[in-house]
Structures are given as structure tokens and as C-alpha cells.
Amino acid sequence: MLTTRRGFNAAFLTGAACALTPFRAAAADEFINVLTGGTSGVYYPLGVALSKIFSQKIANVRPSVQATKASVENLVLLQQGKGEIAFTLGDSLAFAWVGDEEAGFKGKLDKLRGVAAIYPNFIQVVASKESGIKTLADLKGKRLSVGAPKSGTELNARAILSGAGLTYKDLGKVEYLPFAESVDLIKNRQLDATLQSAGLGVAAIRDLASSLEITVVEVPGALVDKIGAPYVKAVIPANTYSGQTQDVQAAAVVNYLVTRAGLSDDLVYQMVKGVFESRDELVAAHQAARDIKLELAMQGMPIPMHPGAEKYLREKGVVK
């Protein structure tokens, strides 16, 4: 009887161990939370595409996508360990690294690490044609949405308005709203214009242009030179939006993918590899990804690179 019980116990323990094996494997999976932006912007569809790429091409990971208020919130969440990779505007990233309180950072976010420069964000100022707004100066006394408070977009709005000699006090009304909500208010004649910092062809502006006549307001090159880095001169090509028949001068600022210290070099290596070796999937998600170029991956990076990303870029000859 004793032998039988011992045999039974041994079999039971072996079976229990086998039963636990899948759970141990599942527990070993690494979570990759991709921090994006509002669902009507560019970060979100690219983040969804990244999640799919990571799921297909990196073993033992569980990707997820989180819609956020974009740059500033993303960087704070990374610092808190609540994400693994995030999209951000370059100026927000530079402010986070030094801990600029006016930009929304209470202290230096020292855990941030660079992954890659990706594509430029165009500062797109769009007004309803009936508002009469044709230039930045015409915004005086008008109703403008500038993005979520202390978001990357709102920081861009402050810079562009300042370059044009305007402050929020010069406007008739300031709304701090995501892209889609801004467009809804313009459609309802409750706003005159919206400033949106995103890749070209942003869904919210396409939606607005299909609903009523718009004016894409020029940001002159001389103004961009005046406000300086990290802003650069750019052009919104004709026909980017319905009814926009001519090229429009604009300002742009580089977007980055960033991660945090503490993630394994191998995981970050695999993530940056996924970005550059699955570019077609990203372009399918949004046309802004056409501007993601390996040779520009280190362009203007204002924070230290993560060793895993640096390893990949060194193998590709981007880092010497």
C-alpha cells in the first residue's frame, strides 16, 4: 500500500509539474505596452501596427496599445514604469530630460532612453473658410483649439503663436481638446480653427475637409527660423487635404520612439528591429510612416540611447 501511495504521489507531482509548465511560460512573457495618443491622430494607428509587428516577430511577448494624451503623458508614464515604448515629439522629449515644469514635467525624467527618430510632425493650422482666417495674424480674436493641456501639440501651439507675436490672451477663445473633438466643434460653428501637430493626412483634418471648406494656414519659413530648434521648415504638399490645391509652408518637429532604462537590451533590440524591418506594415497603417528612414534614426536625439537600440543601429552602420 505504501509503495502504491508513493507511486501515486510521484505521478501526481509529475503531473502537477507538467500542468504548471504552461503557466510558468505565460508568466515569463514580457509585456510591451505601446503608449500612443488620441485615436484620431497618427500615433494610435502606428501604435496598433507596432503591437501587431511585435506580436508576430518577437517571441514570448504580450503587446498592448494604450490611447493617451500623447507626448507629455507618454513620457511621464514611461518614467513611472507604466509603458515599454512610446511616441513623443522632440521638443517634449527635450523638456522631459531637463525637467521643464512649464512643459508639464515636475522633475527630470532620467529613466527615458532613445529608440529612434521616426517621422516629422507637421504643425497644421486649419480653419473653416467661413471664419475668414487666412494668416496666423488673423487668429487674433478667433476661437482656436490647441490640443490637450501641456500636450506636445499644445507646446507646439505656444511656440507657433509666440513666433507670430500672439499669446492665448489675444485669442477670442482657447479650447484644449483632442483632434477629433476640435473638428466636431468647428463643424458645429463653435470653433474657428484647430492647431494639430501630427503626420500629414491626419484623420481628423481629412474628416473636416470632407465636411466643409477649409483653409490650411501658412506658417512662414521666416517665423520657423525665428523660433528655431527643434522646429524646421516644411511644406504641406498640395492636395494633402480635400480643397487644399496649393503647397503650404509649415513648421515641423521630429517624432521619436522612446523606451526606459531597465528593459533588457535584447527586447529593445528586437523592438527597434521590428520598426525598421517592418516599415511596409507601418506605412499600411498610416502614410506618415513613409518618412521613417533608417539613416535618420539618430537625427537630433536629445536623450541617451538605450543600449539595445544602439546595438541594432551600430550593426546597420547608423551608429559609428
Query: What single DSSP character describes residue 305?
Result: B
**pLDDT tens digits, residue range 123-168?**
999 999 999 999 999 999 999 999 988 788 999 999 999 999 999 9
127 shares a domain with 115 = no
* CA 89 – CA 200 distance, rounded (Å): 15
Q: What is the CATH number of the domain that holds 32?
A: 3.40.190.10
**pLDDT tens digits, residue range 138-147?**
999 999 999 9
* CA 309 – CA 152 distance, rounded (Å): 24
- Please give the tally of structural domains in the chain: 2
234 shares a domain with 197 = yes
User: What DSSP element (H or E) covers 216?
Assistant: strand 214-217
* CA 125 – CA 135 distance, rounded (Å): 9
Stretch 185-196: mean pLDDT, rounded? 97
Q: What pLDDT was estimated at residue 151?
A: 83
247 shares a domain with 159 = yes
Q: Which residue has the higher pLDDT, 208 or 14?
A: 208
180 within some domain: yes
Residues 67 and 59 sit within 8 Å (Cβ to Cβ)? no
259 shares a domain with 249 = no
305 within some domain: yes
Average pLDDT, whole number, for the chain? 90
**pLDDT tens digits, residue range 247-275?**
999 999 999 999 999 999 999 999 999 99
249 within some domain: yes
pLDDT at 120 over 80: yes
248 shares a domain with 260 = no
62 within some domain: yes
90 within some domain: yes
pLDDT band at 28 (very low <50, low <70, confident <90, very high): low
213 shares a domain with 102 = no
276 shares a domain with 169 = no
169 within some domain: yes
Domain that holds residue 281: 25-119+255-315
